Amino acid sequence: MMQLTWLPFEWIVALRFLKEGKIQSAFIVVGISIGVAVIVFMSALLTGMQANFVNRVLTGQAHIQMLAPKEVARTLRKNEANETEIAIVQTPLQRFKGIDQWQNVASQVAKMAQVKVVSPAISGAALLIRGDTTRSVSVTGMIPDLYFQIISLPEKIVRGQAILASDSILIGTELASDLGLSVGDKLRLSTGNGSVNTLKITGIFDLGNKGANSRSTFVALRTAQSMMGLIGGASVFDVTVHDVYAAENIARQIQSLTGLQADSWIKTNEQFFTAVRAQTTANTAIRFFVALSVGFGIASVLVVSVVQRSREIGILRAMGITRGQILRIFLLQGGLLGLGGALMGSGIGGAALYLWQRFERNADGSVMFFLVFDMHLLVQTLVLATLTGLISAFAPAMRAARLDPVVAIRG
Amino acid sequence: MKVTRPSQGLPASNPILDLIGIRKSFNVGQPNEIEILHGINLQLFPGEFCAVTGPSGSGKSTLLNTVGLLDRPTSGTLKICQQETTLLSDADLTDLRGHQIGFVFQYHHLLSAFSAIENVMMPMVADAGFSNKAMRERAAQLLGSVGLTPWLDAPASRLSGGQQQRVAVARALAMKPALILADEPTGNLDSKSADAVFELLQSVCRDQGTAVLFVTHNPLLSARCDKTIEVVDGTIFDL
pLDDT tens series, chain B, 239 aa = 444 444 444 555 789 999 999 999 998 888 888 999 999 999 999 999 999 999 988 899 899 999 999 999 999 999 999 899 988 998 999 999 999 999 988 787 888 889 999 999 988 888 877 788 888 899 999 998 888 899 999 999 899 888 898 899 899 999 999 999 998 888 877 888 788 888 889 988 888 889 999 999 888 888 999 899 999 998 888 76
- Cβ pair A318:B99 closer than 8 A: no
Give the closest-approach CA distance of A386 to chain B in angstroms. Answer: 24
Closest by alpha carbon to A61, among A266, A211, A274? A266
Give the closest-approach CA distance of A327 to chain B in angstroms. Answer: 14
Contact yes or no for A248/A264 (Cβ under 8 A): yes
Mutation target among B62, B111, B121, B165 for the A interface, most CBs of A within 10 A: B111
Give the closest-approach CA distance of B232 to chain A in angstroms. Answer: 21
Closest-approach residue (CA) in chain A for B102: A319
ipTM summary value: 0.83
Sheet holding B17-26, edge to edge: B34-44, B17-26, B75-80, B83-84
Which residue type occupies B162?
A: G
Please give the model's pTM, rounded to 2 decimal places. Answer: 0.72
Closest by alpha carbon to A222, among A165, A184, A146? A165
For chain B, say whether A5 makes contact (Cβ under 8 Å).
Answer: yes
Query: How high is the pLDDT of residue A77?
Result: 65
- Cβ pair B94:A314 closer than 8 A: no
- Specify the DSSP class assigned to residue A232: T
Query: How high is the pLDDT of residue B9?
Result: 47
- Cβ pair A312:B95 closer than 8 A: no
Given B70, B107, B175, which is nearest A405 (Cβ)?
B70
Long-range pairs for B139-148: beta carbons < 8 A, 24 or more residues apart:
B139/B170, B139/B174, B142/B170, B142/B173, B142/B174, B143/B116, B143/B117, B143/B167, B143/B170, B145/B170, B145/B200, B146/B170, B146/B196, B146/B200, B147/B196, B148/B116
Helix (H) or strand (E) holding B143: helix B132-145
The model's confidence at residue A369, banded by pLDDT at 50, 70 and 90, is confident
Contact yes or no for B225/B50 (Cβ under 8 A): yes
B16, with CB counted inside 10 A (0-12, 13-18, 19+), is buried
Give the closest-approach CA distance of B125 to chain A in angstroms. Answer: 6
Query: How high is the pLDDT of residue B7?
Result: 43
Q: Of the ranges A4-13, A161-170, A184-193, A311-320, which one carries the lowest mean pLDDT score?
A: A4-13
Interacting residues of A401 by C-beta distance below 8 A, sequence separation 6+: A323, A324, A326, A327, A330
| Topology, domain B17-238 | Rossmann fold (3.40.50)
Query: How high is the pLDDT of residue A85?
Result: 64
Query: How high is the pLDDT of residue A376?
Result: 83
Backbone angles phi, psi at B215, to 5 degrees: -85, 130
Mutation target among A5, A9, A15, A313 for the B interface, most CBs of B within 10 A: A5
Closest-approach residue (CA) in chain A for B94: A320
Closest-approach residue (CA) in chain B for A320: B98
Query: How high is the pLDDT of residue B68?
Result: 93
C-alpha B48/C-alpha B186 separation (Å) is 19
Given B111, B112, B126, which is nearest A325 (Cβ)?
B126
Query: How high is the pLDDT of residue B2?
Result: 41
Contact yes or no for A220/A164 (Cβ under 8 A): yes
Give the closest-approach CA distance of A29 to chain B in angstroms. Answer: 20
pLDDT tens by residue, B183-215: 888 887 788 878 888 888 998 888 888 999 999
pLDDT tens by residue, B27-43: 888 888 899 999 999 99
- Cβ pair A317:B121 closer than 8 A: no
